[in-house]
């Protein structure tokens, strides 16, 4: 029996959610460990952010196709014909195909977001000589640097929790869910699209501003135009909003009888609370990171130190909300 067979056998629980969650967690920490080792030796954070995107995409894909992988391995072990791979297009057309359209939609949403953000951050750090000020105090310490990669694996796991839970629902169980598109489906999709668009627009405006400063098209010290005149951190607002959309769409399914069975809950108030927590942990953890750890505190602290004594900065900070954009 190969290592893969052993892992899949050991994680094949009666509850579909656990059978999907544990291999996905293992994959997240494995990828981060593989990137951490050479990064620690080279003392470089160049591939830190893009490795996070790769981990997001890989864990999402694994959770989506894990039931088929198990079935194909089991069929091969006894010499039976292997089942075909599920069709995403058929699922989106709501013609079956072994997947539900919500599984495909959520997995595609994460993949598009992670791909865009990963390439954006990699291009940004490459233009800055491969360094990021967040790592100035830890890149020379192997334990601390390794901790940063493991923290990223934890971040991926917690943010993906609602997607992993939805992808863990077997097709046979999903088929019993009413076919009609629900309010949470629509609201979740709108929140994701709005948040994603907001984040992309904010990043593009910031990138254009940085390029303009490098080519001496302006001499502004900080960006106060566009979305950055509506919020001091519009990209972070978009980030939290899009994950709220993913949680909303997933939560609508997880609180249903289908979702309760998939996560191994007997239903009732406690089961619904558990489902909502499983969905809500994603935007909650993103908010915690951005508000208390590596997002807003670092950015605000850096700008306060540089420009805190300047009147125009004080005016911008006074008149521009920190997070929620003003109308």
Query: Residue 95 has what pLDDT?
Result: 61
CA distance 8 to 21: 12
Residues in Cβ contact with 38 at an 8 Å cutoff, skipping those fewer than 6 apart: none
Query: How confident is the prediction for the chain on average, in pLDDT?
Result: 90
Instruction: Please choose, from the candidates 181, 160, 150, 180, the residue with its C-alpha nearest in 3D space to the C-alpha of residue 17.
Output: 160
CA distance 8 to 23: 8
Q: Is 64's pLDDT higher than 90?
A: yes
The residue among 220 and 196 whose pLDDT is bigger is 196
Q: Tokens 């006894």 correspond to what residue?
A: 78
Residue 97's pLDDT band, with cuts at 50, 70 and 90, is: low
pLDDT digits 0-9 by tens, 222-248: 888 999 999 999 999 999 999 999 999
Q: Is 315's pLDDT higher than 80?
A: yes
pLDDT digits 0-9 by tens, 146-187: 999 999 999 999 999 999 999 999 888 888 887 789 999 999
Q: Residues 298, 277, 112, 322: is their CA dihedral positive or negative?
A: negative
CA distance 107 to 117: 15
Residue 96's pLDDT band, with cuts at 50, 70 and 90, is: low
Instruction: Please choose, from the candidates 153, 172, 158, 173, the residue with its C-alpha nearest in 3D space to the C-alpha of residue 263.
Output: 173
Q: Is 1's pLDDT higher than 70?
A: no
Q: Are 72 and 82 in contact (CB under 8 A)?
A: yes
Report which listed range, 60-69, 87-96, 156-165, 301-310, is most confident: 156-165
Contacts of residues 33-36 at CB distance under 8 Å and 24 or more positions apart, as own/partner, are 33/149, 35/149, 36/145, 36/146, 36/149, 36/150
| CA distances from residue 226 to 202, 204, 236, 240, 295 in whole angstroms, order as listed | 8, 10, 15, 19, 20
Query: Residue 112 has what pLDDT?
Result: 97
pTM to 2 decimal places: 0.91
Residue 12's pLDDT band, with cuts at 50, 70 and 90, is: confident
CA distance 241 to 227: 15
Q: What's the helix, strand, coil split of the chain in %, to 5?
A: 75, 0, 25
CA distance 74 to 85: 14
Angle in degrees, CA 70, 75, 81, rounded to 5: 130
Residue 36's pLDDT band, with cuts at 50, 70 and 90, is: very high
Residues in Cβ contact with 288 at an 8 Å cutoff, skipping those fewer than 6 apart: none
């Amino acid at each position: 029996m190969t290592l893969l067979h052993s892992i899949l056998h050991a994680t094949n629980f009666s509850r579909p959610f656990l059978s999907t969650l544990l291999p996905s967690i293992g994959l997240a920490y494995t990828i981060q460990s593989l990137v951490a080792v050479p990064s620690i030796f080279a003392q470089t954070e160049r591939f830190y952010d893009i490795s996070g995107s790769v981990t997001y995409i890989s864990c999402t894909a694994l959770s989506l196709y894990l039931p088929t992988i198990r079935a194909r391995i089991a069929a091969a072990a006894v010499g039976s014909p292997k089942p075909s791979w599920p069709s995403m297009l058929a699922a989106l057309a709501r013609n079956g195909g072994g997947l539900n359209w919500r599984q495909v939609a959520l997995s595609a949403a994460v993949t598009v977001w992670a791909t865009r953000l990963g390439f954006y951050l990699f291009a940004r750090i490459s233009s800055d000589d491969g360094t990021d000020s967040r790592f100035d105090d830890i890149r020379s310490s192997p334990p601390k640097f390794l901790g940063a990669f493991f923290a990223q694996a934890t971040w991926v796991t917690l943010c993906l929790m609602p997607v992993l839970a939805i992808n863990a629902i077997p097709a046979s169980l999903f088929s019993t869910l009413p076919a009609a598109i629900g309010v949470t489906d629509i609201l979740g999709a709108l929140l994701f699209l709005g948040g994603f668009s907001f984040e992309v627009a904010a990043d593009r405006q910031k990138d254009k501003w940085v390029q303009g400063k490098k080519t001496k098209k302006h001499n502004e010290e900080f960006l106060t135009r566009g979305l950055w005149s509506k919020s001091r951190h519009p990209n972070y607002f978009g980030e939290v909003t899009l994950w709220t959309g993913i949680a909303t769409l997933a939560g609508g399914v997880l609180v249903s009888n289908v979702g309760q069975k998939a996560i191994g809950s007997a239903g009732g108030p406690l089961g619904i609370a558990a489902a909502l927590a499983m969905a809500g942990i994603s935007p909650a953890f993103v908010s915690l990171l951005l508000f208390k750890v590596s997002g807003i505190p670092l950015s605000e602290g850096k700008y306060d130190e540089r420009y805190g004594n300047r009147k125009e900065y004080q005016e911008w900070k006074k008149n521009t909300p920190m997070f929620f954009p003003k109308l």
